[in-house]
């Protein structure tokens, strides 16, 4: 068993929602005390791996929390909604690959720009 705890702010949670394809949740700014949990699950019968995300939108007002529990976050939502709460690990890798490739391209482009001395 492995446990990782990472903290972030609204400016780091919002891009993660976009990467996961959670367009409905990513259209509003994350509230105070929001929570995003990404789990790696293994199917005991098949042996294959799946990714599940849980979401708590946080406090909607000062000291007000209208949501008492996390709910499954639908990833890979289309423009008309849809999406899935549980996706195969390979699909999750494809979701994460896009931003990683884009960032590598930007880093290469920066290296190619001559320094001004």
Tell me the per-residue pLDDT of 29-75, one tens digit each, with 9 for 90 and over.
Answer: 888 888 888 999 999 999 999 999 999 888 766 656 666 678 888 98
Q: What is the DSSP letter of 85?
A: S
pLDDT in tens, 9-29: 888 888 888 888 888 888 888
Q: Hey, how many other C-beta atoms are within 10 angstroms of the C-beta on 20?
A: 25
Residues in CB range of 10: below 8 A, 6 or more apart: 29, 30, 34
Q: How do the domains of the chain map onto residue ranges?
A: 10-112
Contact predicate 75/95, CB 8 Å: yes
pLDDT in tens, 76-111: 887 666 888 899 999 998 888 876 666 666 566 556
Choose among 24, 84, 104, 21: nearest CA to 57. 24
Where do we find the tokens 């290469």? 108
Task: Check: pTM over 0.85? Answer yes or no.
Answer: no
- The pLDDT value recorded for residue 104 is 63
More confident residue, 8 or 113: 8
Q: What CA–CA distance (Å, rounded) separates 97 from 44?
A: 27
């Amino acid at each position: 068993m492995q446990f990782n705890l990472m903290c972030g702010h609204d400016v780091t949670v919002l891009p993660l929602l976009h990467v996961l394809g959670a367009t409905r949740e990513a259209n509003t700014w994350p509230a105070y005390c929001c929570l995003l949990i990404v789990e790696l699950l293994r199917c005991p019968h098949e042996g294959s791996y799946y990714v599940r995300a849980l979401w708590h939108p946080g406090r909607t007002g000062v000291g007000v929390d209208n949501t008492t529990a996390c709910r499954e976050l639908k990833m890979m939502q289309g423009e008309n909604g849809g999406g899935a709460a549980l996706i195969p690990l390979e699909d999750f890798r494809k979701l994460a690959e896009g931003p990683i490739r884009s960032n590598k391209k930007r880093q290469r482009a920066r290296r190619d720009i001559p320094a001004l001395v």
